[in-house]
Each structure stands twice: as C-alpha cells, then as structure tokens.
Amino acid sequence: MSKHTFPKLHNATWPGIVGKGDHEPIISLDELLEKTAAANVNGVKFDGVDLGLFDPHVKLDTSDDHISWVVDKIGGYGLEIGTLVAPIWPPDGGSAMGSQADRDRFVDVVKRAAEFGYKLRKQGIRTNNVIRIDSASGVEDWSKNPLENTKLIADTFRRACDAAAEYGERLAAEGEICWGGMQSWRKMLDTLEMVDRENIGFQADMSHTFLYLLGYNSPEDRILKADFEWSDREELERGLQFLTSQLRPWTIDFHVAQNDGTVFGSGSHDKTGRHCLPTDPNGKLDIVKDAGYWLRDEQGKLTKAFNHICWDGCMFPNEVMHKQETWNSILETLIKVRDQHGWSE
C-alpha cells in the first residue's frame, strides 16, 4: 500500500483498561503497542493508535515533559496518534447532567485533553483533532427528567466544545446505549442538535450503534421490525440504511467492529454493544459491506469524512488480547474495509 492510501488504519489502546481491574488485570500500554506494531498482513501494518488518556497508560498531564514522553513512547513503535478519549467520568470528571461541580469538572477534563491533543499535533505525531466524549450519565437517571437532563447535557457539551475550540479540537460523542441522552439514534440527534456548535460530531462504532437498530434502552426508537429475525438480511440492510442516513452527516470518527446482537458489560462498565472478534461465527454484521453504509453516502460516493478508521475491541477478554493472531486478524479486516472503501492521494 502507498503511504498516501486512506483511511489510515489504527488500533485502540483503551481496551487494555476499560472493563479491566476487577476480574481481569489491566493490560499495559507497552504490550498493546508491541502487539499493534508487530501486526503484519502481507507487509501492511497499523499506521497508528487512538489513545485513551487513562491512568495508568497515560496521565492527563499537559506538561511538556509528559507530552514528550508520550511522543517518544508511541513514536518509538513507529506509530502515530489519532483520536483521543477524554476521561470525563468521575472522579476526575463528572456527569454532564450532574451538579454544577460535576459539570465544571467535565468541562475542565475536556479542556485539558484538548491542550494535550494540541501539543501532540504540534509535535507532529498526531494526525487529527478529534476527542471522544459521552454524557458520563446513566440512562435511568436521565429518564427521570428527559427534557431538562438533555438540556443540561447539551449545555455541558456546548461549554466543552468552546473549551476544545480554543485548541483547535473537535468533540465526537459516541453513540452507546448505556449513556443517558445518547442511548438511541433519536436521543443522540436531539442532543447533538441542541449543542449547536460547529466542533461537535458523532463517533460511530459498528458494534455500539448496531444496537440502536434494536431499541435497547429506548424501545420507542427501535428501527428494525418488532418480529425481526436475523435471517432477514434485507430488513437488516434497510435498518442500517436508515440509521446511517440519520447519523452519517454528523460522523467525524469511525470504529470498525463486530457485534453478535447482544449487550455486554465488564468491570464497572455498564452493558453496551458487545464487541466480537471479526471471525466470530455469531457476528451479525457483514463488516466490510456494512462499513460502507457509514463510509459512503446514499449515492455510494465516499464521504472521506475522516482520514483514519480504528478497531475497537473494548472488553475483549485478556486471553484474547494477549494473542498476536488477534491483532493480525483485526488488521486484516481493516485492510479489507479500506480496499473496499478507501482512496489514494
């Protein structure tokens, strides 16, 4: 592949932390970087990583010394850095619809993450300006007062956008059924539209957004027929076409993933779309084809809305993540997506 072939291929670092620390130990950043850098499919390798700003991997420390440490650490593996994940949850952050102190902490974390990202871009190792967020609020709490809580979330996001804009950063709200005000395609659109900022967008994950079709945590917004059966590929494609027509225009960051149609939670993480290996026989997605619903418009034209795609294996068991063949298989899948929906410059 030419070095000017897009989208670039990234792996995620946060699956080494999210859902860990309870029944399974955290996987070190070094191991994740080693496995990512070692993956190779017919000479094609990962271009970079999307980075969670989570202790103990990386501290949300914007000092020049720490930034240089991150650049040397990741750059030393021949990898670049793409999207960042801001640690907006308590205790460092706070609920976007919580108390004033909660919301102030949320905004402060985003501001520091934006400064962190800006400094990485200045060092030349970071290739985009997107930071991933969510509402850090549960669906049950949100449902106690949907209208007012959505207003609070939108106001917090608006303030966070303004803070991020000071550093030239954009915020991508990830569509997951476990986050209040974001638990369905319609709730997500309501929140994004209410924020009303140019630097807000949507992060689509093929596993998480897949459950929007089934109406988990928001049955009134279900897209697929109530009597839908998995053998009905035509109905599934109709649902994907509708879902992506609504959220694609907002999408500024994209995760390739597989889902088996079920929810899953691990450690302290609430239940959300289950990430599966690309070869999982229970996977419901035709990954390469279905990625196209996000990467191409209704006329089939490439949107080129982002310059890299990322694999998210959040809450994979450690025994799976420790195997090099896991990352080779994932890289192979990303290459197939790019072969079908990529471009060269």
**pLDDT (tens digit, 9 = 90+) per residue, 120-141?**
999 999 989 999 999 999 999 9
What is the pTM for the complete model shown?
0.95
Task: Identify which has the larger pLDDT, 19 or 196.
Answer: 196
Six-digit token string for 241: 């076409």
pLDDT at 212: 95
With tokens 């902490």, the residue in question is 105
Give the phi and the psi of residue 133 in degrees, each rounded to 5.
-135, 170
On the 0-12 / 13-18 / 19+ scale of CB atoms within 10 A, 122 is: exposed
Question: Per-residue pLDDT for 57 more than 70?
Answer: yes
Question: Per-residue pLDDT for 268 more than 60?
Answer: no
Q: Pairing mode, if any, of strands 48-52 and 5-6?
A: unpaired
Give the phi and the psi of residue 96 in degrees, each rounded to 5.
-70, -10
**Confidence class of residue 100 from pLDDT cuts 50, 70 and 90?**
very high
pLDDT at 317: 87
Q: What CA–CA distance (Å, rounded) separates 37 from 294?
A: 27
Helix, strand, or coil here: 136? coil
Class of domain 5-339 as given by CATH: alpha beta
With tokens 């093929």, the residue in question is 206
Mean residue pLDDT across the chain: 94
pLDDT at 269: 47
- The residue ranges of every structural domain in the chain are 5-339
What integer is the mean pLDDT of 166-174? Answer: 98
pLDDT at 3: 55
- Identify the bridge partners of residue 6 per DSSP, sorted by sequence position: 343
Helix, strand, or coil here: 302? strand
